[in-house]
Chain A
Amino acid sequence: MLAATAAPRIDAKRRVVLDHRKRQFAQAQWAEQDYTHRMNFYTIPPTGDITLEQFEEWGIARLKVLAELEACQSRNRTPAETEEYMRPVMEKHMRLSSNRSNNSERDMERKKDHYSHWTLRLAFSGTADLRQRFARLETQLFKLRFQHDDGKERKEFITSLPMSWETVSDEEKKLWLEELKAATNSNNKTDEESWFKVDWEKVPELVERRQVLLKRGQAYVHVREQTSMVVNEFSRTLESGLELAARFLPRMDEDNRLAPILHHLSQSFTAPDAGYSEESSIGDMASISAASIDGLSSHFPLCMQNLHRELRKNSHLKHFGRLQYTLFLKGIGLNLQECIVFWRKSFKLIADDKFKSEYLYNIRHNYGEVGGDANKRGRGYTPYSCQKLLTEAPPSAGQTHGCPYRTYSPDNLITLLQHVGVSDREVLRDVREYVGKQRYHIACNRVFEAAHKGEIKKVKDQSLWPASELDTILHPNTYFKRSFLLKNLGKVQSGDIGVDGPTQQMSD
């Protein structure tokens, strides 16, 4: 039976308090997992101790992997493409070495895998939609890993599973060899003469295609189908586990350390969290001035392009729009002085006094030059990630902040895209599809890809960039930087770009 709860509450009296030096020799009081196999059906919940940071970090890492997997699916990548794409992602975030490798980190990797799964299970069991998405993605991940498992280890893992199948005995095989071979299409010399039998309900797809032998409700399946059966079983087990978790969720006795983390994790399915780092600035490659913004705007993601257009059209932007845009500009490397100049010039209809009294302070505040402790003194607020833009309150009349893929109706969105130069019908169609499925950042990524198709291909073919530089864009500043770099391949060295920056337009 599946355990009903995730990490049970640890009774203070029984907590193992160990000095870190003694830890490796200490006897664990709780059943520490013995990770004999690389693969895991996650039927036993973790019971050991981990730190809160590990809890969150591991959860985020796994989420990153799952989110990338979902991005591949949304883009309808072929299995081969997905595999290729995911390999570096998985290596980076959720490495899992095989038994043969004598990796000292191996057990830790498996523990991380195990615990992060259960963490996310907790986070995503709340609603039916989340459960479904999580189950689907975990199954995909399992399948991906399973297919790369070492043959021998895979067999060992399968035998360890409590599956309800049995190998067809030699007597039965002798009795029905021809029928078995005909039914399961295993007449090649290379086909193993090995079958197992299971209730037919467990393999409906194979029954539907007449690829099994049926006898009185038992399906005789060729061993090559084992992979898909294991994967299906994994999926089924997980789904019922999630249902169980959902029912027990209200009863979870929690001390409010986990709840915010879990909430944050579950939000990340909307758009995964993007760490913002100051490396998104191109200040070291080109000096950006207020005058160069117009030119650089061709590299902006739609949200910022939209704000820029609005600003140019009306010579004004409302508060949240200004906030979002200013932070973005800071992120691309525009310094405070130039930023002030930019806004002053853009708000050309406003008198100097009014500008100084109503707008200047805010810009400085955003940059961290003035303001209280909460403003991360010295650095100002962090530019908003896609997740933030997609989860904050949507704009109302007269406002243009947020993510247009979300706030605009599909028709208006398409019109907007056409205005900024996206005319490829396929791209627009895909955008409509993704938006329909509420995968807004995927739509944005699609537009990016289409706009930089040639450059991306070149980078891939010539291996100019590592794969991690081409993963899903989750932050407007990432979009900008990558666009800028792609359009300036070969030119980007310090000082090569003039003061005004490159002026080439985006080519569709």
Chain B
Amino acid sequence: MGIKMPESSSPREPSSPARDDDVSLPDAPVESPSRPNSSNQPGVTLEDLFDDNDQDLEEEILASDAANLPSSPPQTAPSSSEEAIPTTHQEAYSDPNLMLQFYSRLFPFRSLFQWLNHSPKPGPDFANREFALTLPNDAYLRYQSYPTADTLRKDILRHNPSRFEIGPVYTTNPRDRKTLKKSSMFRPLSKEIVFDIDLTDYDDIRTCLVDIALREDFGFEHIIWIYSGRRGVHAWISDKEARELDDDKRKAITGYFEVLKGGVQGGKRVNLKRPLHPHIVRSLDILRPYFQQVLADQEPFKSQAGQDRLLQLLPDKALNEALAKKWASSPDRPSSRKWADIDAMAETGVSKTLNTKALLEAKQDILLEYTYPRLDVEVGKKRIHLLKSPFVVHPGTGRVCVPITAAGDMQRAEAFDPLSVPKVTELLREVDQFGSGEDGENKANGFVEDGVTMRKLSDWEKTSLKPYVELFDAHVKTLLKSEMIRVKRERDDDGVTGSDAMEF
């Protein structure tokens, strides 16, 4: 993270307040007659868009960005905006102009809003939620909050963060935290449970394992897996019971999944009591076929050091000596062969003291050590933890953090290929090049609610972002449905979810 800037408790005012009033109009679904489907025109290039007089906000922001001054006069907008548009692939992925385009045209703000708000109508689950923005200059703005999707979007466009993170829902609006009488009155109330799994290279197996455990053991339903942009995945659990769990329970869940203990150096990292817990047994069954692949891909036992480590984890001295001798004569023996050698050598009876049970268990432990998912335990333990939002762009790779799968669809997870995740540059190009018109599709699909339509969202439909947003939306839809059923049932109690009174 960059330097933590003192948080601005109120967003900077745009240079021309008068324009601010106009700002809401361009986003309204009903277009003013003087602007017939401006940005929705197929084949319109980005340059053409800026010729439109009514793209006030757009111009102003681009102008301010290009001139790097918040108060640059709008009349210079058209010319400077032309410079601002990226046209080459060599642009850095974190180029502010790229990001701005991305946020303005592709980022699915309304979907994100509904996912976090748990209802179409704005409520405290969104309004009291913390967002943390990483600005282009690496400054870090915490405790930002927004009442609606629209305000979130505007602020993101204003700040143009390279990334932003989502935090918990607090007892009160985070921006007001300093005005409270007692500091203890400001504390986290709820947050989705999250897991951060680091993958040396992506494989769906591990996603599968955790997903199954969460559903079958804990009974969670609304789980979505988000690609974190390079090498990891995040799981977000939105079940109401999950969101309201306190830190102790989160720690318990994390502990349930923890199998590897200790640092990378040092002895055996997997030390499980026998008989194995059913979760571990299930995990072993899932991971066993994958182990061979790991052996082939990563060759963990090929080097001398790797081999030594392997022997260190096996219990029988005589067997180990025999294996070491055998491998000494064939230095480049692949890991999979060495693994098979273990059983083969054991069967020759070279060790009189061999405890077959202990050997089997040691092999199980080794298998787990090399395949069991590594959870970043700190991420899941506390409610106040901030985690990167879905759909932000990874600055290093330029890829969008898209959802991989939801609703326990492991086939989809299997089909996921990190190298096919769209990059922001490609997406923007796809918008430009969108050829055949698909009019009528471009109204925000089925999510038209009061005042929160994002007309520009429809751009994503023209790009390879489409299936990902649709996946996300489907997940959100299921979530909202279950929330509404619950609210109906709890109608007598005090409503805390977003569909009732707004509490600021």
Contacts and interface: CB of A to CB of B under 8 A. Distances in A.
A binds B: yes
B277 A182 contact: yes
B278 A182 contact: yes
B255 A208 contact: yes
Interface string A181-209: 11101010000000000001100110111
Contacts of B275: 181-182, 185, 187
A379 interface: no
B253 A210 contact: no
Chain B interface main SS type: helix
Contact of B278 (A187, A209, A213, A218): A213
Interface string B271-303: 001011111110000000000000000000000
A208 B254 CA distance: 7
Contacts of A183: 277-278
B251 A208 contact: yes
A217 interface: yes
Contact of B219 (A185, A210, A216): A216
A207 B253 contact: yes
A124 B277 CA distance: 43
B337 interface: no
A213 B216 CA distance: 11
Given A201-B249, A214-B218, A215-B216, A182 B281 contact: yes
Contacts of A187: 275
Nearest to B220: A217
A32 interface: no
B285 to A, nearest CB: 13
A213 B275 CA distance: 13
A57 interface: no
A216 B214 CA distance: 9
Contacts of B254: 208
A434 B440 CA distance: 74
B46 interface: no
B492 interface: no
A284 interface: no
B248 interface: yes
Nearest to A179: B278
B279 A210 contact: yes
Given A200-B218, A214-B218, A216-B219, A207 B255 contact: yes
A207 B218 CA distance: 10
A170 B308 CA distance: 50
A200 B278 CA distance: 16
A264 to B, nearest CB: 29
A285 to B, nearest CB: 55
Given A182-B276, A185-B273, A210 B256 contact: yes
B245 A201 contact: yes
Contacts of A207: 252-253, 255-256
B441 interface: no
Interface string A212-244: 011111100000000000000000000000000
Nearest to A218: B219
A47 B188 CA distance: 40
Interface of B: 216-220, 241, 245, 248-249, 251-256, 273, 275-281
Interface of A: 179, 181-183, 185, 187, 200-201, 204-205, 207-210, 213-218
23 contacts: A181-B275, A182-B278, A185-B273, A185-B275, A201-B249, A204-B248, A205-B252, A207-B255, A207-B256, A208-B251, A208-B252, A208-B254, A208-B256, A209-B255, A210-B255, A210-B280, A214-B256, A215-B216, A215-B217, A216-B216, A216-B217, A217-B219, A217-B220
Given A182-B277, A214-B217, A216-B216, 19 more contacts: A181-B275, A182-B278, A182-B281, A185-B275, A200-B218, A201-B241, A201-B245, A201-B249, A204-B249, A204-B251, A204-B252, A207-B253, A208-B254, A208-B256, A214-B256, A217-B217, A217-B219, A217-B220, A218-B219
